[in-house]
Amino acid sequence: MRPSGRELNEMRAVSIETGFTKHAEGSALIKVGDTHVLCTATIEDRVPPFIKGSGLGWVTAEYGMLPRATNTRMRREAANGKQGGRTVEIQRLIGRSLRAGVDRVALGERQITVDCDVLQADGGTRCASITGGWIALRLAVNKLMKAGDVISDPLVDPVAAVSCGIYAGQPVLDLDYPEDSEAGVDGNFIMTGTGQLIEVQMSAEGSTYSRDQMNKLMDLAEKGVAELVAAQKAATA
Amino acid sequence: MRPSGRELNEMRAVSIETGFTKHAEGSALIKVGDTHVLCTATIEDRVPPFIKGSGLGWVTAEYGMLPRATNTRMRREAANGKQGGRTVEIQRLIGRSLRAGVDRVALGERQITVDCDVLQADGGTRCASITGGWIALRLAVNKLMKAGDVISDPLVDPVAAVSCGIYAGQPVLDLDYPEDSEAGVDGNFIMTGTGQLIEVQMSAEGSTYSRDQMNKLMDLAEKGVAELVAAQKAATA
Amino acid sequence: MRPSGRELNEMRAVSIETGFTKHAEGSALIKVGDTHVLCTATIEDRVPPFIKGSGLGWVTAEYGMLPRATNTRMRREAANGKQGGRTVEIQRLIGRSLRAGVDRVALGERQITVDCDVLQADGGTRCASITGGWIALRLAVNKLMKAGDVISDPLVDPVAAVSCGIYAGQPVLDLDYPEDSEAGVDGNFIMTGTGQLIEVQMSAEGSTYSRDQMNKLMDLAEKGVAELVAAQKAATA
Amino acid sequence: MRPSGRELNEMRAVSIETGFTKHAEGSALIKVGDTHVLCTATIEDRVPPFIKGSGLGWVTAEYGMLPRATNTRMRREAANGKQGGRTVEIQRLIGRSLRAGVDRVALGERQITVDCDVLQADGGTRCASITGGWIALRLAVNKLMKAGDVISDPLVDPVAAVSCGIYAGQPVLDLDYPEDSEAGVDGNFIMTGTGQLIEVQMSAEGSTYSRDQMNKLMDLAEKGVAELVAAQKAATA
Amino acid sequence: MRPSGRELNEMRAVSIETGFTKHAEGSALIKVGDTHVLCTATIEDRVPPFIKGSGLGWVTAEYGMLPRATNTRMRREAANGKQGGRTVEIQRLIGRSLRAGVDRVALGERQITVDCDVLQADGGTRCASITGGWIALRLAVNKLMKAGDVISDPLVDPVAAVSCGIYAGQPVLDLDYPEDSEAGVDGNFIMTGTGQLIEVQMSAEGSTYSRDQMNKLMDLAEKGVAELVAAQKAATA
Amino acid sequence: MRPSGRELNEMRAVSIETGFTKHAEGSALIKVGDTHVLCTATIEDRVPPFIKGSGLGWVTAEYGMLPRATNTRMRREAANGKQGGRTVEIQRLIGRSLRAGVDRVALGERQITVDCDVLQADGGTRCASITGGWIALRLAVNKLMKAGDVISDPLVDPVAAVSCGIYAGQPVLDLDYPEDSEAGVDGNFIMTGTGQLIEVQMSAEGSTYSRDQMNKLMDLAEKGVAELVAAQKAATA
């Protein structure tokens, strides 16, 4: 029934290549099916003005998409003179989600910027960015700990994300682009390795959904995130 | 326990003044406690390029805040040269939410723009905007129907929104600003008059929440939205 | 002869509601006929760089119009990415006019920003902004004096403004929108409570006027400003 | 008493070099003392959308200042990414003033853009721009008439402008920069060759003025404009 | 003597992976040492306004760099609100260079946009972009020819580019970042497979060079481009 | 054969008027045929952040063109909200070229900004800007030396620039606009008074050129620059 032939509760194949670029303190190319996102983490010894002197660290994120990551070419945001509304919304979500998994006292007064750049898109780029961004963050923090700059691990419980939706009347896990563009309801579920929730966003355009449907999507999401967390652990072991 | 002395499941006082401005096809000043939002609906006989000729209508929204709506003055976005990320995120949410309650075939090929401008802010401005925006939309559509431009009512089931969160460890309904700035978890629940879900956004910053907590907030939201829908009906009767 | 049925030298009804919003140090909703402007005054303990350390205070103003304040919806300036030429011109005029009524030594090294946001427009928004802006300023300064932060009153002589023009060949006082859009000549007269001039702007587009006509408009303006100053005093007594 | 040693009612020396650049349909370098403005007029066979098909012509203006036209270097507006408020205000004034002297029916459905670029500034650049801009316009219209594209002269009565102000307590004609920066009140007077008024702008910052003072400045302005119109005629004879 | 231990006339290792992304009509990841650029070519059935109806095709290019492609993170251009001067200069060069190798009559009235996005930078990114961009262009044109949309091959003679410079007093081929940041003179040489020149840019900052030195760099460039053209051919055979 | 009737190796007439504006520390109007550029040099006692405290000076340049400097009017860059790619490229070239002729240690920790504004364009504006910009720089530095602020002359060897190209199959010196718009290949040659090279940019669009042709253009450029340097010396003697 799904265009890809997957089971309703089946994720796409996930692969993670760490160290994809050499300059960043942490970097990974994550592939969730045909969605490929390059994530890098940059450590800087400064924090935003609003927490200066607080002893707390900060994690923020930026998101971008190459112009021809998609089926038809999109205008480059730098040429447009601004980041679009969708971009801004996504990068705020990524930053907020990653921060929820960070002990900012343990991190100490420094900032880590996670850049998520979509090289190829096939649905679910924001979820892949969160899942891959966590890996880049993990690798960067490992470097800080190895150097003795951070003593207690600020990343206790991993963060990963998956989208679920109602496609052709059925709840399905990990929407790809053909499903995403048809789905009446779709949601993004950001969770931790221990099954706690960080952020849930479920939206319908031109229709509505029931609490029961919501619960079914939550069940699928729990399965998906568990698999993604396993893949993260394998990649950074 | 709440700074305002309200019960855990108690909304702030809601008042709605329709026809607050005279030019718009629909207008209302909604007050949810000390949060005051002026909502206007503008009908235009054109639609965005991507649905031209489809026979479908479109509903979109814009959001703004007067510089001194808040406790300290914020720089005017027009002077900044762009709408901030928060503004963009909110106005996309308002538009998406209102569209979910609209039968775009019945509306016909025209656009209604709902402007939500916060005159005074005390938490929950996006939810008040959706609730008040629906009223402005309702009034504008009434005008279309009275004029015979629209035959079948495109607004079948009303749309309203409320925020809930975990404040001082307790699930509470309709966060005001002092609660919002302290809450570990807060969510926005956009629902219809018949209790269906349109959008759920629950986010935690620097912490996480369980499915059980999520369900408790959902219960509160259902109560709040039911009260808001009653107020909408009273105001537009 | 006038569309509204007013006498040639008759102002529209003026009403002033002080304290319209709660956060600002001073706020007022001024209604001059169907032109409604929300004015707020914000006090900050800093001044622009060019007077830092001089001991002088500063008063500045910003002006905005809600998108549907007018008969047809205007694009939001924040969405356009800049303030239009008309906006910039008006807010510079408001700031300059208010400053002319302020003893900046008595004010001391602090800045007051007066925001004038038009909720509904029917001609004469810049004049209503100046008249209402002065009230917000007055209320904010009262607060400073009450707190003992300012000893000698920096607002000696009130400032108000009215427009006059030549409509259908006749000099008329306080143009409303139907008159303004037809007038061959129109002028804005900013004056003090003692009848001194602060700024006069009289312009013709596609025609010209004589010194004699100019003097007749000045006479009308003196009458109008006197009435506005009386209304200001009544509102802030 | 004046820094330049001029009489109270004495203009600076005025010189006009027509044909200063070769591409424009009309061009002139006007020097009013040390204020030098290059004015060019460009004819285009198109009009702004709002008068398309009306048969009416349009005249508009743009204003700029070279970065080192002034005593200290100003940042280039193109580098700033926008025209400043002062620039926008001035170019709107120039366009409005020139249009007041144009019979737009006689001009026919075409647009003339007058560019006024200040090469060197010493006070009064907006007035010199209007006076010089009229010459560029005159030359461009001459070309249209010579070619038979325009039959009846659309420029019946010339337009010129001068500033006057109260300097050291005295009304003076044609303020230069040292006077302008000290003057308590200064005004710009745009008039025609027959002594009609097009626009009067008199403003005080931090002080006020009486009707009597205003009338004295008007008298000076009439004298100055008469001399400027004579110079325009001599230059374009 | 070179930091990398290379001979004076030795290129870095070059590798080319075609088909790196799936949506673009042509794509390649080119690696010149540690400089990695993802190049995609997009075909569109429209041309810029200035050649509409001429029957000629157009090739244009855009260039970007991921924020952490470099040793320290650079601010994202989309967040800055504009493309920097360096970016604009480079993408104009890439477009101009590729066009020089294209028979625009044979291409027919369509546009090909070549996007060059630097994933990792180590000097010479503009040259790698041109060399890799040509491959993406080659693959896209192959697709057009295979589909019969283009009959005669518009890409007769391949285009490639290399940088040379004077490092530590010696002319060297293919500068990497450590060399580039120290070189007194550096040049970019864009040439064809038959040794013709397309563009030469040699610049010195804070020093100068002789014609004799220029000729030595030209000799090196001829060697380097010949090797790059061979690699291009191997990759697209 | 050349539209202007010049010999293949003949420059246009060059005239230089120093002191064209009075405020700048150095200023000159350079005319190369019908290309007229106003160059000013501004001295400031501050340097860009990246050399603060180094004791080194900095020379930078900005470039602009009046809207009607060209045959058809161009939109003003300040109104466009940004400098175009061509402008940015040119002003970077001017700055780089002038710096190559400056001993930044001798200059001391100060910045000189050279503004080059094209009043009238007929080809070769960037070369005229460099040649004229050097004169403005020379005059400004003379002032510094006269005042004893700089002891040892930081401008040892003058900098000038000329364009050459292949027009109608022939190498020609100093392209004017009719030639430039037809030339298959054109180059800009920036050199010193002693014949050293600073920057060479030779580009072909839609064709290529040989090393032999390049050498012929270099020969012409050497002749042209020698004549320009002589003119510079005469003007500043």
Phi/psi region, residue B82 (left: phi>0; alpha: psi -120 to 50; beta: rest), is beta
Residue in the structure block whose two tokens are 């001017």? F94
> What pLDDT sits at residue B125?
98
DSSP A174-230: S--HHHHTT-SEEEEEEEETTS-EEEEEEEESSS-B-HHHHHHHHHHHHHHHHHHHH
Residue type, C206: G
> What pLDDT sits at residue D85?
85
DSSP state of F15: E
Chains touching C by CB (3 or more pairs below 8 Å) = B, D
Instruction: State how beta strands B197-204 and E159-167 pair.
Output: unpaired
CB of A227 within 8 Å of a chain E CB? The answer is: no
DSSP state of E209: B
Distance from CA of D50 to the nearest CA of F (A): 20
Of B88, B197, B211, the CB nearest to A89: B88
Residue B146, classified by CB atoms within 10 Å of its CB into exposed (0-12), middle (13-18) or buried (19+), is: exposed
> What pLDDT sits at residue A8?
97
> What pLDDT sits at residue D140?
98
Annotated binding-site ranges of C for phosphate? 86, 124-126
Of C100, C206, C211, the CB nearest to D197: C211
How does pLDDT run across F141-185, given as a tens digit for each residue? 999 999 999 999 999 899 999 999 999 999 999 999 999 999 989
Q: Is the CB of residue E188 less than 8 Å from the CB of residue E125?
A: no
CA distance C217 to C206: 19
Q: B68–C36: do the CB atoms touch at under 8 Å? A: no
**pLDDT tens, residue order, chain A (237 aa):** 899 999 999 999 999 999 999 999 999 999 999 999 999 999 999 999 999 999 999 999 999 999 999 999 999 999 888 888 899 999 999 999 999 999 999 999 999 999 999 999 999 999 999 999 999 999 999 999 999 999 999 998 999 999 999 999 999 999 999 999 999 899 999 999 999 999 999 998 767 999 999 999 999 999 999 999 999 999 998
Chain E residue with minimum CA distance to A62: E76
CB of D21 within 8 Å of a chain C CB? The answer is: no
Task: Note the pTM of the prediction, 2 decimals.
Answer: 0.88
> What pLDDT sits at residue C206?
67
Structural tokens at position B128: 């008040």
> What pLDDT sits at residue B134?
98
Q: Which residues in chain C (196-225) have CB-CB distances under 8 A to chain D? A: 196-211, 214, 218
Q: C197–D208: do the CB atoms touch at under 8 Å? A: yes
Of B88, B104, B206, the CB nearest to A206: B104
DSSP D59-82: EEEEEEE-TTSSSSPPPPHHHHTS
Q: Is the CB of residue E219 less than 8 Å from the CB of residue E212?
A: no
CA distance D121 to D31: 10
Q: C21–B69: do the CB atoms touch at under 8 Å? A: yes
Chain D residue with minimum CA distance to F41: D68
Annotated binding-site ranges of B for phosphate? 86, 124-126
Which residues fall within 8 angstroms of residue E5, CB to CB, at 6 or more apart? Answer: none
Q: B208–A192: do the CB atoms touch at under 8 Å? A: yes
Of E82, E199, E209, the CB nearest to F196: E209
Confirm or deny that D86 is annotated as ligand binding. Answer: yes
Confirm or deny that F12 is annotated as ligand binding. Answer: no
Distance from CA of A195 to the nearest CA of E (A): 32
> What pLDDT sits at residue B206?
67
- Span C47-64, average pLDDT: 96
Q: D199–C196: do the CB atoms touch at under 8 Å? A: no
Residue D53 CA to chain centroid, in angstroms? 29
How does pLDDT run across D4-43, given as a tens digit for each residue? 999 999 999 999 999 999 999 999 999 999 999 999 999 9
Confirm or deny that D124 is annotated as ligand binding. Answer: yes
β-sheet bridge partners, residue F187: F164, F202
pLDDT band at F206 (very low <50, low <70, confident <90, very high): low
Q: B192–A208: do the CB atoms touch at under 8 Å? A: yes
Distance from CA of E69 to the nearest CA of A (A): 7
> What pLDDT sits at residue C81?
82
Burial C165-185 (b: 16+ CB within 10 A, else e): bbbeeebbbbbbbebeeebbb
Chain C interface, best mutation among B40, B43, B68, by max C CB count within 10 A:
B68
Which residues fall within 8 angstroms of residue A186, CB to CB, at 6 or more apart? Answer: A163, A164, A165, A166, A175, A180, A202, A203
Distance from CA of A68 to the nearest CA of E (A): 6
DSSP chain D: --TT---TT-PPPEEEEET-SSSSSEEEEEEETTEEEEEEEEEES---GGGTTSS--EEEEEEEE-TTSSSSPPPPHHHHTS--HHHHHHHHHHHHHHHHT--HHHH-S-EEEEEEEEEE-SS-HHHHHHHHHHHHHHHHHHHHHHTTS--S-S--S-EEEEEEEEETTEEEES--HHHHTT-SEEEEEEEETTS-EEEEEEEESSS-B-HHHHHHHHHHHHHHHHHHHHHHHHHH-
Q: E210–F203: do the CB atoms touch at under 8 Å? A: no
SS3 of B90-154: HHHHHHHHHHHCCCHHHHCCCEEEEEEEEEECCCCHHHHHHHHHHHHHHHHHHHHHHCCCCCCCC
> What pLDDT sits at residue A156?
87
Chain E residue with minimum CA distance to A65: E66
Chain C contact set for B77 (CB, 8 A): 78
Q: Is the CB of residue A94 less than 8 Å from the CB of residue A130?
A: yes
Q: A66–E115: do the CB atoms touch at under 8 Å? A: yes
Task: Return the sign of the alpha-carbon dihedral for residues F139, F142, F144, F150.
Answer: positive
Q: Which of C119, C135, C110, C151 is nearest to C231 (CA)?
A: C135
Residue A92 CA to chain centroid, in angstroms? 11
Q: Which residues in chain D (54-93) have CB-CB distances under 8 A to chain F? A: 62, 64, 66-71, 73, 76-83, 87
Chain A contact set for E87 (CB, 8 A): 78
CB of B160 within 8 Å of a chain A CB? The answer is: no
Annotated binding-site ranges of E for phosphate? 86, 124-126
3-state secondary structure of F59: strand
Count chain C–chain D contacts defined by CB atoms under 8 A. Answer: 87
Q: Is the CB of residue B188 less than 8 Å from the CB of residue B201?
A: yes
Residue D88, classified by CB atoms within 10 Å of its CB into exposed (0-12), middle (13-18) or buried (19+), is: buried
List domains and CATH numbers for chain B.
14-236 (3.30.230.70)
Rounded percentage of chain D residues whose pLDDT exceeds 90 = 93
Q: Is the CB of residue A129 less than 8 Å from the CB of residue A89?
A: no
How does pLDDT run across D157-208, given as a tens digit for each residue? 999 999 999 999 999 999 999 999 999 899 999 999 999 999 999 998 767 9
> What pLDDT sits at residue F156?
87
Chain C residue with minimum CA distance to B71: C23
Distance from CA of E214 to the nearest CA of A (A): 33
Q: Which residues in chain E (107-136) have CB-CB distances under 8 A to chain A? A: 113, 115, 117, 119-120
Q: F120–D23: do the CB atoms touch at under 8 Å? A: yes
Of C24, C42, C79, the CB nearest to B83: C79
Q: A210–B202: do the CB atoms touch at under 8 Å? A: no
Q: Which of D37, D35, D39, D36 is nearest to D19 (CA)?
A: D39
Q: Which of D126, D127, D142 is nearest to D43 (CA)?
A: D142
Query: How confident is the prediction for chain F on average, in pLDDT?
Result: 96
CA distance E146 to E153: 11
- Asked if pLDDT for residue F38 goes beyond 90, the answer is yes
Chain F contact set for E102 (CB, 8 A): 206
Q: Which of F193, F192, F197, F228 is nearest to F215 (CA)?
A: F197
Which residues fall within 8 angstroms of residue B184, CB to CB, at 6 or more apart? Answer: B165, B166, B204, B205, B206, B207, B209
> What pLDDT sits at residue A184?
85
Of D62, D69, D73, the CB nearest to F76: D62
Chain D contact set for C164 (CB, 8 A): none
CA distance C71 to E22: 50
Chain F contact set for E210 (CB, 8 A): 196-197
Q: Count how many residues are written for chain C.
A: 237
Chain B contact set for A196 (CB, 8 A): 208-210
CA distance F86 to F73: 16
- Span F93-116, average pLDDT: 96
* F104 φ/ψ angles, rounded to the nearest 5 degrees: -75, -20
**D205 or B65: which leads in pLDDT:** B65
Q: Is the CB of residue F44 less than 8 Å from the CB of residue F114?
A: no
> What pLDDT sits at residue D177?
96
Structural tokens at position E181: 């940041």
Burial F164-202 (b: 16+ CB within 10 A, else e): bbbbeeebbbbbbbebeeebbbbbbbbbbbeebbbbbbb
Structural tokens at position E81: 């609100």
Q: Considering just the CA atoms, what is the radius of gyration of chain D in Å?
A: 18
Residue type, E92: R
The Cβ-side half-sphere exposure at F22, using a 13 Å CA radius, reads: 7
Residue type, F209: Y
How does pLDDT run across B194-217, given as a tens digit for each residue? 999 999 999 987 679 999 999 999
Residue in the structure block whose two tokens are 């003697």? F237
The Cβ-side half-sphere exposure at C203, using a 13 Å CA radius, reads: 16
> What pLDDT sits at residue C205?
72
* C135 φ/ψ angles, rounded to the nearest 5 degrees: -65, -45
Chain C residue with minimum CA distance to D203: C199
The Cβ-side half-sphere exposure at F94, using a 13 Å CA radius, reads: 33
**How far, CA to CA in Å, does D5 sit from each of D172, D180, D221?**
12, 15, 19
> What pLDDT sits at residue F111?
98
CA distance C39 to C60: 13
Chain D contact set for F78 (CB, 8 A): 64, 76-78, 80, 82-83, 87
Of F96, F202, F204, the CB nearest to E205: F96
* Beta strand spans in chain E (E): 14-18, 26-32, 35-44, 58-65, 111-120, 159-167, 170-173, 185-192, 197-204
Q: Considering just the CA atoms, what is the radius of gyration of chain F in Å?
A: 18
Residue type, A44: E
Q: Is the CB of residue C5 less than 8 Å from the CB of residue C96?
A: no
Q: Is the CB of residue A111 less than 8 Å from the CB of residue A70?
A: no
Q: E21–A120: do the CB atoms touch at under 8 Å? A: yes
3-state secondary structure of E125: helix
Chain C interface, best mutation among D210, D211, D219, D229, by max C CB count within 10 A:
D211
> What pLDDT sits at residue E205?
72
- Asked if pLDDT for residue D141 goes beyond 90, the answer is yes
> What pLDDT sits at residue E206?
67
